[in-house]
């Protein structure tokens, strides 16, 4: 049985991807900061084999320790989904909170690097890494400054990883979603549910399952096929800050 390793699996895109890849025949290593939702996910997916890891991707030592302790049955990783990440705040650069900047750069960029470096020794020829980026990595928008920069880094890291890992026969791809209705905005706005809900008002946004379906398709292509970069929008969105709202 092939193994998929998914970060940020406790909710949103990560959780939906775990469900989709389990349905595609993968056993799973699911990682997140909170144990309880990961336990619930494992129960939901039974009898699919699931190994749970709890760590913050920003903590390099915790990442390395957790990956080193994965049981032998899960140690050959066929697919890595670098999904964990975050957005904090929406302010012009002069008013930004340095703690928010650290959280985004440490999670979105350094966390991806820490996890990839720890997992790559477990991955051989035919492996596949999918990094979850954002349209924000391709198009700047007002007050998005550091978040946009962090996702631009994900886009460039994906391209350079693809070059570096080509000799090992490992495919590397990025999925860059536009508007997806998850807890993303609630986190960005620090629990302000009304403000978070307004982001999706009048728009049929993408759902986490839409992104998971795309990821499942990408990683199950024949070994000679690599879908390298995908930008995915809801039909009501044409660019990062261009959305058609109705109602």
pLDDT tens sequence across 117-139: 999 999 999 999 999 999 999 99
CATH number of the domain within which 218 lies: 3.40.50.720
Average pLDDT, the chain: 97
> Which tokens hold the place of 156?
């460039």
Mean pLDDT across 56-66? 98
In this prediction the pTM is 0.96
Looking up tokens 């440490």 gives 106
Smallest Cα–Cα separation from 8: which of 124, 157, 108, 150?
108
Q: Using DSSP bridges, classify how beta strands 237-239 and 242-243 pair: parallel, antiparallel or unpaired.
A: antiparallel
Q: How far apart are CA 108 and CA 188, in angstroms?
A: 14
- pLDDT value, residue 192: 78
pLDDT tens sequence across 15-24: 999 999 999 9
Domain limits for position 85: 3-243
The number of folded domains in the chain is 1
Q: How far apart are CA 60 and CA 102, in angstroms?
A: 15
- pLDDT value, residue 95: 98
Catalytically active residues are: 147
CA angle 189–190–196, rounded 5-degree value: 40
- pLDDT value, residue 151: 98
pLDDT tens sequence across 194-232: 888 889 999 999 999 999 999 999 999 999 999 999 999
> Which tokens hold the place of 88?
């904090």
Q: How far apart are CA 151 and CA 196, in angstroms?
A: 20
Helices (H) and strands (E) in the chain, counts: 9, 9
Helix axes 12-23, 208-219, angle to 10 degrees: 40
Mean pLDDT across 104-120? 98
Beta bridge partners of 242: 239
Q: How many CB atoms lie within 10 A of CB 43?
A: 9
The count of residues in the chain is: 247
Mean pLDDT across 37-66? 98
Mean pLDDT across 72-83? 98
Among the ranges given (151-155, 184-188, 206-210), the one the predictor scored with the smallest mean pLDDT: 184-188
């Amino acid at each position: 049985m092939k193994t998929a390793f998914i970060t940020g699996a406790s909710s949103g895109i990560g959780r939906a991807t775990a469900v989709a890849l389990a349905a595609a025949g993968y056993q799973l290593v699911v990682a997140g900061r909170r144990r309880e939702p990961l336990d619930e996910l494992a129960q939901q997916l039974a009898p699919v084999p699931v190994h749970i890891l709890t760590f913050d991707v920003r903590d390099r030592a915790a990442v390395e320790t957790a990956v080193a302790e994965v049981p032998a049955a899960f140690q050959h990783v066929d697919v890595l989904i670098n999904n964990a990440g975050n957005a904090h705040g929406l302010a012009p650069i002069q008013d930004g909170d340095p703690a928010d900047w650290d959280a985004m750069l440490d999670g979105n960029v350094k966390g991806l690097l820490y996890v990839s470096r720890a997992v790559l020794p477990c991955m051989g020829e035919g492996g596949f890494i999918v990094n979850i980026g954002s349209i924000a990595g391709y198009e700047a928008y007002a007050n998005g400054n550091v978040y946009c920069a962090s996702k631009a880094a994900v886009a460039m890291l994906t391209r350079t990883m693809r070059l570096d890992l080509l000799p090992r026969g490992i495919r590397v791809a990025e999925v860059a979603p536009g508007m997806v209705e998850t807890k993303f905005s609630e986190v960005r706005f620090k629990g302000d549910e009304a403000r978070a809900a307004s982001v999706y008002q009048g728009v049929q946004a993408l759902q986490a399952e839409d992104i998971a379906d795309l990821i499942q398709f990408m990683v199950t292509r024949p070994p000679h096929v690599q879908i390298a970069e995908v930008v995915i929008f809801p039909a009501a969105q044409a660019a990062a800050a261009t959305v058609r709202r109705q109602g």
